[in-house]
């Protein structure tokens, strides 16, 4: 039997600062690739659900904000449905992308998404998870993208029932996934700071 041709795995490398050139060219002042960077806008005038802002910073182990990180988020719509061909439970809101991409600000290190509050979606055993947003983070010095989740501080009942949150043994560690709520210009803003190392290190998931 002839053995199939195989290739060796390419060694992993840090994402470097160049990830922004390929993924957010307009942010890098490279025009003409896309009219606007993909993932920049998640909602339109007809998107259903509570409009919210998700904002925060990513801190390294010494407490310094990263000013060159890239963040992608995925989430369900207001009814708990994903904008994905794999979604079999119903039709997701066609006016909501369910996915966003932003670079952290080069001066402050802040990121900011304008989105909607997601509905609850079932865990693999059918139990409902609390409303949450999935995060993926890359930056120079990070060889593999980091995955985490943001939950909402004003969803105490749902958070208490969530099989993912309840599976975290330490309440102090679970608290690193909870975003606080505030108000700005009559809109809800959730602050979610991510700590890569050190005190208060955010929980990351092996996805």
Question: Tens digits of per-residue pLDDT, 9-36?
Answer: 777 666 666 778 888 998 888 998 889 9
Domain with residues 25-195, CATH architecture: Sandwich (2.60)
Helix ranges (H only) for the chain are 19-23, 156-161, 163-166, 171-174
The per-residue pLDDT for 12 is 65
What's the pLDDT at 142? 81
Q: How many CB atoms lie within 10 A of CB 186?
A: 5
% pLDDT > 70, the chain: 95
Q: Is the pLDDT at 4 greater than 80, yes or no?
A: no
pTM for the whole thing?
Answer: 0.89
Q: Counting beta carbons within 10 angstroms of the beta carbon of residue 3, is it exposed (0 to 12), middle (13 to 18) or buried (19 or more)?
A: exposed
Which residues is 178 bridged to in the sheet? 151
Residue 202's pLDDT band, with cuts at 50, 70 and 90, is: very high
């Amino acid at each position: 039997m002839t053995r199939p041709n195989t290739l060796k795995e390419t060694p992993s490398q840090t994402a470097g600062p160049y990830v922004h050139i390929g993924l957010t060219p307009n942010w890098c002042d490279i025009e003409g690739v896309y009219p606007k960077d993909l993932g920049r806008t998640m909602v339109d005038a007809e998107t259903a659900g509570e409009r919210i802002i998700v904002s925060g910073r990513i801190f390294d182990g010494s407490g310094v904000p990263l000013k060159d990180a890239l963040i992608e988020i995925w989430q369900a719509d207001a009814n708990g449905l994903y904008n994905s061909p794999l979604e079999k439970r119903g039709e997701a809101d066609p006016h909501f992308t369910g996915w966003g991409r932003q670079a952290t600000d080069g001066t402050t290190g802040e990121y900011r998404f304008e989105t909607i509050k997601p509905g609850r979606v079932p865990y693999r055993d059918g139990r409902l998870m609390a409303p949450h947003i999935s995060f993926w983070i890359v930056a120079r010095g990070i060889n593999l993208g980091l995955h985490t989740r943001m939950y909402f501080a004003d969803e105490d009942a749902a958070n208490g029932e969530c099989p993912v949150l309840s599976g975290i043994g330490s309440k102090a560690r679970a608290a690193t996934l909870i975003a606080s709520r505030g108000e700005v210009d009559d809109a809800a803003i959730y602050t979610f700071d991510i700590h890569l190392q050190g005190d208060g290190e955010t929980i990351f998931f092996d996805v």
